[in-house]
Amino acid sequence: MITDLNRRDFLVSTLVCGAGLAWPRGVWADGENAAQLVEGKDPGLIVHNAKTIEMETPLALLRNHRLTPKKILFVRNNQELPGARTTQPAKDADWRIELMGLVEYPRTIDLARLRAMEQNEVEMVLQCSGNGRKQFSRAAKVKGAPWEQGAVGNVRFRGVPLAKLLDELKLELSPDAQLLTAEGKDGPAKPEDADFEHSLPLGDVRRRSLIALEMNGEPIPAVHGGPARLVTPGYYGTMQVKWLTRLRFESRETFNHHQRRRYRTPHEPIAPGSDFTYDFDNSDANWRMRIKSIIFSPLDGETLAAGKVAVRGVAFNDGGAKIDEVEISIDDGQTWQRAKLDLPRSPYAWYHWSANIPLSKGPGRIMARATDALGRTQPLDGAIGWNPAGYGWNGVQTVEVKVT
C-alpha cells in the first residue's frame, strides 16, 4: 500500500506507472490520511493539502449531524501554528489579545478576564469562500484547492461580544475607525511571505462579532483556532481569524497581501480564464456570504428506485434576510417545486429543507435553488461570477443520479 512508500518512491512510481492512478478517497498521495495529519480528525476527510492542512468533509459525513462535530469539520490553514494539529483544546497559558490602532489607549486582555465577561452563543455556518471552487473550473481553470461542496460546517460558537468588550474596557475609538483588522499567532512558512490577517467592517463587527472561546460546547479545538477566535456570523471562513492575538482599529482595509490581493471578488463580471489584479477599488473582500443551498441526499452518482424520492439538504446566506424558499428542479431548471423549509435557531445557521420528488426510470438530474426575502438567489449558470481564484461560488448545484 502507499502508506509504506515515502514521497520520493511515490513520485517515482507515479512517473513509472503514468497517470490514471486512483487512490482511495480521503487518502493523500503520500498516504497520510486526515487522522494521521491532524489528531482527532476522521480518516474519511478529503485531504487537499497536507503541508499547511486543507481538508474537506464529504457530504456523506456532513449530512448526519445538525451541529458539525469537530471530528469531521473541514480545515483550512493558510499557514500553521506549531502544535495546533489536533482537535484537543489549545495550550493557552499566557494567551493575550492586544487591542490597538485608532483607540485612545491600547489595551491587552488575557483569557481569564475574557472568561469572566458575559458570553453570547451563536449557531452559524463556517464556510471557506473557496467552497465549490471546483465548479468554476468547468468554465476555466481557477487557482486553489479544488473544494467540492464540503468546505463548510454548521457550528455553535460561544464567546464575548465585541461590543461588550469595548464597553467593559471603556475602549474609546476614534471616529476615523471604520475597520477592524485581526491577526492570529500563526506565521508564514517563509519570513518574506505576508502574514495572514484580515480587515472587517466595524459596523457588522460591533453588531455581530464574538471573541469566541468555545465551539460546540467545549474549548475551541486547537486546529480550529483555539483558545480564541474572532467570529463574525454571516461572513466567509477566511474572515474568522483563528488563534487571535491582536485587533487593530483602522480607517481602511489593511494593505496586507491576503486582504488586498487575495480573498476578493471583482466588482464587474470578467470573462472566464482572464487575469485580474485585485485592488481595493475594483473588488470586494470576501465578507458576507452569498446565498447557497447544498443537496445532502441523494448524493451525486447514487442509484435510486423509481417513485417518490426524498430529496434533502441545507441552505444559508449572510443572515441579513430570511431565506424563504428552496425549490427543486428535475428538468434542468425549467420548472421548480417548493421544498419544505425549517427555520433554524439563528439567522446565521443553516436551514434544513426536504421534498418528495417523483423520479422516473433513466438518468436524472436534481437541482436545488434558495431565495431569500431580499430576492437574492443562486444563478443557474455556475460560471457566472467566475474569478481567477474561484471565490464565492454559489451556483445551483446539480446532482446526477441513476433511477432504476
Binding status of residue 87 toward ligand MTE by CB under 6 A:
no
Q: Is the dihedral of CA 14, 16, 19, 21 positive or negative?
A: negative
Distance, in Å, from the CA atom of 25 to the CA atom of 18, rounded to the nearest integer, reads 19
Residue 196 contacts ligand MTE per CB under 6 A? yes
Instruction: Check residue 77 for interaction with ligand MTE (CB under 6 A).
Output: yes
Cβ neighbours around 103 below 10 Å, total: 18
**Smallest distance from Mo ion to CB 354, Å:** 29
Let me know how many helices (H) and strands (E) the chain has, helices first.
8, 24
Q: Name the residue nearer to Mo ion (CB basis): 150 or 237.
A: 237
Residue closest to 252 by CA, chosen among 230, 231, 278, 281: 281
Q: Return the closest-CA partner of residue 185 out of 74, 92, 264.
A: 92
Does 79 participate in binding ligand MTE (rule CB under 6 A)? yes
* 92-131 residues near ligand MTE, rule: CB under 6 A: 126, 128
Nearest residue (beta carbon) to Mo ion: 128
182 sits in which H/E element? strand 179-184
Q: Which grid coordinates belong to 145?
A: 484547492
Residue 283 interacting entry, from ligand MTE, Mo ion, none, C-beta within 5 to 8 Å by type: none
Nearer to Mo ion, 52 or 297 (CB): 52
Q: Is the Cβ of residue 244 or residue 367 nearer to ligand MTE in the bound state?
A: 244
Beta-carbon contacts of 395 under 8 Å, excluding residues fewer than 6 positions away, are 132, 135, 378, 379, 380, 381, 382, 383, 384, 385
Contact 292, 317 (CB under 8 A): yes
Q: Count residues binding ligand MTE (CB under 6 A).
A: 20
Q: Any contact of residue 150 with ligand MTE (CB under 6 A)? A: no
Residues that bind Mo ion (CB under 5 A): 76, 128, 237-238
Per-residue burial over 267-303, b = 16 or more CB atoms within 10 Å of its CB, e = otherwise = eeebebeeeeebeeeebebbbbbbbbbbbbbbeeeee
Site for ligand MTE in 155-184 (CB under 6 A): 184
Q: Considering beta carbons, is residue 76 or 198 the nearer one to Mo ion? A: 76
Looking only at residues 232 through 291 of this chain, which bind ligand MTE when binding is defined by CB under 6 A? Answer: 237-238, 240-243
Cα of first residue to Cα of last residue in the chain, in angstroms, is 36
- Least Å from the CB of residue 316 to ligand MTE: 15
Q: How far is the CB of 240 from Mo ion (least distance, A)?
A: 9
Contact residues for 17 (Cβ-Cβ < 8 A; gap 6+): none
Interface residue with ligand MTE among 27, 75, 179, 403 (CB under 6 A) is 75
The binder of 196, among Mo ion, ligand MTE, none, by C-beta within 5 to 8 A per type, is ligand MTE
Residues 284-343 that bind ligand MTE (CB under 6 A): none
Residue pair 294/74 in contact by the 8 Å Cβ criterion: no
74 interacts with ligand MTE by CB under 6 A: yes
Nearer to Mo ion, 135 or 377 (CB): 135
Residues that bind ligand MTE (CB under 6 A): 73-79, 126, 128, 184, 186, 196, 224-225, 237-238, 240-243
